[in-house]
């Protein structure tokens, strides 16, 4: 008799109601793989895009979303080292790369020619169990809050790759963090503060800006009530910012580009408000602005950020937790943009 598990899956693109809680086959670890008993899984903007059909995972359906996985080691497949004891808590690196292509051999595993994400090309963590390569787990010894940990991997890993590796943010520089109330916005603030940078935060409501102020962000912009570019110029004395941390896209992108100072950088990892953007290219070449793409985080970066989580230097913000069987309600809540920080599914 085949083993089964419970999962929140979608069979066709649609609204939050497309997510259905049902029994599905339980995966088994193959060679070099580990079966993880999921304890909590964070929800990301990508999950909403994939469920709505704005991103085609290309995978058979019903499909399991969820890249932000924490849990415990349940079982090893053949050929594993087994360095993390069965039953131990782990965080999961969501990027699965081949390790053999040109990009991987050059150390660029986030641009692997055949890489995939958990929850995209591979079944994710909206389930009781998930299978991942053994090299993708990291022990969380000493960190007991697994719900908080599930708010961590993708947001902090992606933000670290953006600010440290791609934008090379330096102490004393100024960074504009777009959508500061999002999970990745919160991560960017804490990373920038750790690096000794000055943070300007933007959000679309006063209460989110007030929450950002509690995190130590003193320069704040309500982009629904204020002109983003004009406020950046006012705050910086007409200089602009060294780095824009951009993940919104849409109509905000042009103003973000204008807000960059001469020889500054804009780094982007997505476009939750829309992938199609417009800008005046003169602002780019006149001021020698660098526009940098950034994708996920390397395994080394993931492990570094995990260590910073365990020693208390990062503090994930969980806005609300839903049980796995209420995944549809969690998506509806997140789409309403009424939260600050991350929404997490408790499994």
Is the pLDDT reported for residue 35 higher than 50? yes
| Residues whose CB is less than 8 angstroms from the CB of residue 229 and which lie 6 or more positions away in sequence, other chains included | 255, 258, 259
64-109 per-position pLDDT tens digit: 999 999 999 999 999 999 999 999 999 999 999 999 999 999 989 9
Q: What is the pLDDT of residue 59?
A: 82
Q: With 70 as the cut, is the pLDDT of residue 194 above it?
A: yes
Please identify which residue in the block is written with the tokens 């520089």: 173
Residue 338 reports pLDDT greater than 90:
no
Question: pLDDT-derived band of residue 2, with 50, 70 and 90 as boundaries?
Answer: low
Give the pLDDT of residue 1. Answer: 39
**Are β-strands 89-92 and 198-203 bridged in parallel, bridged antiparallel, or unpaired?**
unpaired
pLDDT above 90: residue 142: no
- Confidence check: pLDDT of 171 > 60: yes
Q: Is 310 helix (H, G, I), strand (E, B) or coil?
A: helix
**Is this structure's pTM higher than 0.85?**
yes
pLDDT at 229 over 90: yes
Mean pLDDT of the chain: 95
pLDDT computed for residue 58 by the predictor: 80
Whether the per-residue pLDDT at 185 is higher than 70: the answer is yes
What is the Cα 268 distance to its own chain's centre?
A: 12
Question: CA-to-CA distance for 13 and 58, rounded, in angstroms?
Answer: 12
For the chain, list the domains and their CATH numbers.
4-152+316-346 (3.90.180.10), 156-293 (3.40.50.720)
DSSP-derived secondary structure for 143-201: ---HHHHHTSHHHHHHHHIIIIIIS---TT-EEEESSTTBHHHHHHHHHHHHHT-EEEE
Contacts of 55 (CB under 8 A, 6+ apart): 46, 49, 120
Least confident among 86-95, 108-117, 253-262, 318-327: 108-117
The mean pLDDT of 30-55, rounded to a whole number, is 94
> Residue 211: which pLDDT band, with cuts at 50, 70 and 90?
very high
Mean pLDDT value of segment 316-344: 95
d(CA 132, CA 137): 8
- Residue % of the chain over a pLDDT of 90: 91
């Amino acid at each position: 008799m085949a083993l089964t598990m419970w999962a929140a899956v979608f069979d066709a693109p649609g609204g939050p109601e497309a997510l259905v809680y049902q029994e599905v086959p339980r995966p088994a670890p193959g060679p070099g793989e580990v079966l993880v008993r999921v304890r909590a899984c964070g929800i990301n903007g990508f999950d909403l895009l994939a469920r709505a059909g704005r991103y085609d995972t290309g995978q058979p359906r019903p499909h399991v979303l969820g890249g932000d996985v924490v849990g415990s080691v349940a079982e090893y497949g053949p050929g594993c080292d087994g360095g993390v004891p069965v039953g131990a808590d782990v965080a999961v690196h969501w990027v699965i790369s081949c390790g053999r292509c040109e990009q991987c051999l050059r150390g660029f595993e986030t641009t692997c020619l055949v890489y995939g994400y958990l929850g995209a090309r591979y079944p994710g963590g909206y389930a009781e169990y998930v299978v991942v390569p053994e090299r993708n787990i990291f022990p969380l010894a000493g960190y007991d809050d697994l719900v908080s940990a599930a708010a961590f991997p993708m947001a902090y890993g992606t933000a670290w790759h953006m600010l440290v590796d791609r934008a090379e943010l330096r102490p004393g520089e100024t960074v504009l963090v777009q959508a500061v109330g999002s999970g990745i916005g919160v991560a960017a603030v804490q990373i920038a503060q750790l690096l000794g940078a000055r943070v300007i935060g933007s959000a679309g409501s006063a209460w989110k800006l007030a929450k950002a102020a509690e995190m130590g962000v003193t320069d704040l912009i309500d982009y629904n009530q204020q002109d983003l570019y004009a406020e950046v110029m006012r705050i910086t004395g007409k200089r602009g910012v060294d780095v824009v941390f951009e993940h919104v896209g849409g109509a905000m992108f042009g103003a973000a580009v204008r807000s960059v100072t001469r020889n500054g950088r804009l780094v982007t990892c997505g476009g939750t408000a829309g992938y199609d953007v417009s800008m005046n290219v003169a602002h780019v070449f006149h001021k020698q602005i660098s526009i940098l793409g950034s994708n996920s985080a390397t395994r080394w970066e993931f492990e570094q950020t995990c260590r910073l989580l365990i020693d208390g230097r990062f503090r994930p913000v969980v806005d609300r937790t839903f049980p796995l069987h209420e995944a549809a309600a969690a998506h509806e809540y997140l789409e309403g943009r009424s939260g600050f920080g991350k929404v997490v599914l408790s499994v």
